[in-house]
Amino acid sequence: MKDIKVLGPGCKRCQTTAEMVQAEADRLGITVKVEKVTDYAAIAAFGIASTPGIVIDGKVVHAGGLPKAEDIAKWLA
């Protein structure tokens, strides 16, 4: 199982990002645990200045704006 954190204040883009990650994982048949992180100190600890951010298994893979579905698929593979 992949541990995924979506970093952001809970805005629409952050919610959409979390939904995109889950949908892509479902499409690929990958089990994931998606956690939304809204605490600014926790977000800053990852070095994210622009949200939404995506952290997969402790590694920052995306920051700022909506990711592309094909990028999500690469990160999950």
Q: pLDDT tens digits for 17-56?
A: 999 999 999 999 999 999 999 999 999 999 998 999 999 9
Sequence-separated (6 or more) residues with CB below 8 Å from residue 12: none
Quote helix, strand, coil % in the chain, to nearest 5. Answer: 40, 25, 30
What is the helix (H) or strand (E) element at residue 3, kind and residue range? strand 2-7
Q: Which residue out of 14, 25, 37, 72 is catalytically annotated?
A: 14
| Per-residue model confidence (pLDDT) at position 32 | 97
Instruction: Verify whether residue 11 is a known catalytic residue.
Output: yes
Instruction: Verify whether residue 14 is a known catalytic residue.
Output: yes
CA-to-CA separations, 65 to 11, 28, 31, in angstroms, rounded: 11, 23, 24
pTM of the model: 0.95
Structural tokens at position 55: 């952290």
| Per-residue model confidence (pLDDT) at position 7 | 98
Domain topology for 2-55+63-76: Glutaredoxin (3.40.30)
| Per-residue model confidence (pLDDT) at position 28 | 97
Q: Which residue out of 11, 28, 42, 49 is catalytically annotated?
A: 11
